[in-house]
Structure 1
């Protein structure tokens, strides 16, 4: 008796899993670039540590709830995530839309948006191992960090990091699909770079912002990429509050993916390829 066919959802999950692994393998092909990224992470991590710990010291040892240990943890976790969270806005899909190669992607029996994001998330996950974790280790050895003593924040924090990485690449996919109408997307990419790092909490914790700027940041998906995962990992938010933070991340992810799906369908109808 023949075996029943594999259901479409299961088959789709296998396809995206393979694309994610392909992204990991592709990124692993650039060891020197990874090493250079680690050196940059460590260098700027030490600079950020000096500046922010001086600010904590000048505030009397505590600044917006951060002491020396927790501020150091923020610095080195943010540096560790820098290679995995896409804050610079570039992607292969952006180039494929510009060149017209995306027309071939639309002919493949796999969702264009899902395939692009899965591949990019795979590249981001690889960066956690040779670039992210060593960056944090450098911080632990050079400066010292304060982290939770219970496993709960780490379990939820790892999931929060995965969601944050996915949110970042889903947002960059949105930048790419604007190319269906703009063709030249360098302008929106520069705008994204200018805003994402600030609101994601790369330069300084969002909680150090003035009230009006913090409110503006929280109204965007950018804190879900980096600031919220760091808050969960370091135990700055715990229990129901931590679950709520992850819920906010998931809500942003769902919204960004839905918008990307709508724009992809609309872009496909407007796509024109010269000579095709």
Structure 2
């Protein structure tokens, strides 16, 4: 545990050095948030309510999505593990006295913590200043929203780790990212709230792991009854379930990959 805490702190400290990039990211996310919000406001001006969402709900989800872009890295970049597998530098990683999965999880959580504090919060604050957002009125909902964001970060890491670890078999994961890069943001509800999709498609997409990164956290914040089980707790349970399943799958693939490395090493 001490090692993982040290790796977490290392990740946090490492990414805290990129302050200019953080400021640029806040500006970029805020501008794209304004553009997306204006498009949705025009849509809701013509139709005030769509599948339980009004204009304030939609704009709130826009800024949830923009705030979570950096912590989730849903649009990239890939974990450095991908390149280390391709070049063979992963061999050094395997000599460490901790699991490969645990090491990268701790490091990525450090990165995500920095992004959450110094990119997500300012970006969401800009949205709250420029638009009328549907914000919770009680501390419990805020606490549950933070828990949802944390689970979303773990789900996001697990997916990115899976995209990377297949490099032990494919050797180059750029093709995986070329496919999943466009799919992830759409299926997550980042580009467009899933509630605006036809109801059957939205119901299916909401149950997939990508929705646990944006759509579910947004609906937890909004307190929507469209969440699985019809409650905030149902949404959190779905997120926790996907986090556990994906991490278990990541651990299993890592074990199989280790055997492959030993065989290749002769």
Question: TM-score band (shorter)?
Answer: over 0.9
Deviations 1:94-137 (A, max 9, x none): 11111111111111110110110121121112111221111111
The 5-angstrom pairing of residues 190-269 of structure 1 reads: 190-237=178-225, 241-269=231-259
Q: CA deviation at 1:87?
A: 0.9
The residue number in structure 2 matching 1:51 is 39
The 1:117/1:217 distance shift into structure 2, 3 A limit, reads same
Of the structure 1 ranges 120-129 and 179-188, higher mean CA displacement relative to structure 2 is found in: 120-129
Is structure 2 residue 119 aligned with structure 1 residue 131? yes
Contact 1:85 1:226 in 2 (8 A): no
- Using structure 1 for the length normalisation, give the TM-score: 0.90
Where has structure 1 moved over 6 Å in runs of 4 or more? Answer: 272-276
The residue number in structure 2 matching 1:68 is 55
Q: CA deviation at 1:273?
A: 11
The 1:229/1:108 distance shift into structure 2, 3 A limit, reads same
The residue number in structure 1 matching 2:157 is 169
Is structure 2 residue 101 aligned with structure 1 residue 113? yes
Q: Secondary structure at the match of 2:182?
A: helix
Q: CA deviation at 1:271?
A: 2.2
Q: Secondary structure at the match of 2:201?
A: helix
Q: CA deviation at 1:275?
A: 9.5
The 1:173/1:129 distance shift into structure 2, 3 A limit, reads same
Is structure 2 residue 22 aligned with structure 1 residue 28? no
Task: Identify unmatched segments of 5+ residues in structure 2.
Answer: none
How many pairs does the alignment contain?
263
Distance 1:81 1:218 in 2: 17
| Alpha-carbon RMSD | 2.0
The residue number in structure 2 matching 1:7 is none
Task: Identify unmatched segments of 5+ residues in structure 1.
Answer: 1-11
Larger radius of gyration: 1
Q: CA deviation at 1:211?
A: 3.0
Distance 1:47 1:69 in 2: 15
The residue number in structure 2 matching 1:144 is 132
Contact 1:113 1:261 in 2 (8 A): yes
Distance 1:216 1:231 in 2: 16
Of the structure 1 ranges 95-104 and 208-217, higher mean CA displacement relative to structure 2 is found in: 208-217
Residue 260 (structure 2) aligned to one of 247, 260, 270:
270
Distance 2:152 2:190 in 1: 13
- Using structure 2 for the length normalisation, give the TM-score: 0.93
